[in-house]
Amino acid sequence: LIWIESPTNPLIKVADIKEIATICHDIRDDLILAVDNTFLTSYFQRPLELGADLVCYSLTKYMNGHTDVVMGGITMNCDNLYDSLKFLQNAVGIVPSPFDCYQVNRSLKTLSLRMKQHQHNAIKIAKFLEAHEFVDKVLHPALPSHPQHQVALKQTYGYSGVFSFYIKGELKHSTAFLKALKLFTLAESLGGYESLAELPSIMTHASVPIEDRKSLGISDALIRLSVGLEDSDDLINDLSLALEIASKI
């Protein structure tokens, strides 16, 4: 089994899924390529069409999108894989409740509308941040400055609301920025209707050894945003004020 995610969390690196799938299946016929497609959903990226064998989702995030369900899902094209995983699901007992299934099914009816708005808001905010004097670097695949911008154009149909950026400064500037936010909620989750902000180095990725974080680029200046469905101008004003406050620390 080879497991990848694209884009990655929190550095938003984009993997060439088709190329990786070709390499995997050239090495061994029984090698399984699994792709975590949580960030983009099947609306913006379809790994099975790119050669992946399994695609997994945290349905808690964009697929449900209302921050009221905890659930995961796996999709595949192979009947043998389906039968094996279906047996394991039943045997282990990881069967979601009927109400949670109802909630996710409800949310899928608005997936396209929500993802389009997440994309619109996030790209607008990413461009604003890239031009801001107190922002060092923005990591968003829609921007030509992103290292894998061309790969993203080739294999995706759009972008979600999750991206990261480096603020100029250190931990005290990052924390001041996050504390100053009013519309963005300080939280680790993502993919809901509300806008969230977090500091991976001391939150989602705090358990990663500090040397590993440094080598990966997960510094105290890296901030991850999950841009929600609010008015984009309101969100930009919130970020602008928080950056102004942080810059004076």
Q: CA-CA distance, 35 to 15, in Å (whole number)?
A: 10
- Strand ordering across the sheet containing 185-186: 135-139, 162-167, 222-226, 196-198, 185-186
**pLDDT value of position 231:** 98
Mention every residue, 6+ apart, whose C-beta is less than 8 A from residue 163: 12, 122, 126, 138, 139, 140, 141, 224, 225, 227
What is the average per-residue pLDDT within 57-79? 97
**Model confidence pLDDT, tens digit, residues 152-197:** 999 999 999 999 999 999 999 999 999 999 999 999 999 999 999 9
**Confidence (pTM):** 0.95
What share of the chain has pLDDT > 70, as a percent?
Answer: 100
**pLDDT value of position 26:** 96
169: phi then psi, degrees, rounded to nearest 5: 130, -150
Q: CA-CA distance, 160 to 88, in Å (whole number)?
A: 31
| Confidence tier at 22 by pLDDT (50, 70, 90) | very high
**Model confidence pLDDT, tens digit, residues 110-121:** 999 999 999 999
- Strand ordering across the sheet containing 33-36: 2-5, 33-36, 54-58, 72-76
What share of the chain has pLDDT > 90, as a percent?
Answer: 99
What is the average per-residue pLDDT within 50-64? 98
Q: CA-CA distance, 123 to 65, in Å (whole number)?
A: 19
In the 8-state DSSP scheme, what is residue 131? T
The length of the chain is 249
In the chain, what are the domain boundaries?
2-108, 111-247
| Confidence tier at 58 by pLDDT (50, 70, 90) | very high
Chain-wide mean pLDDT for the chain? 98
Element (H, E) at 120: helix 111-130
Q: Looking at the structure, give the CATH architecture of the domain made up of residues 111-247.
A: Alpha-Beta Complex (3.90)
**Model confidence pLDDT, tens digit, residues 82-116:** 999 999 999 999 999 999 999 999 999 999 999 99
**pLDDT value of position 12:** 99
User: Which fold is adopted by the domain 2-108?
Assistant: Aspartate Aminotransferase; domain 2 (3.40.640)
**pLDDT value of position 131:** 98
Residue 127, both tokens:
């461009």
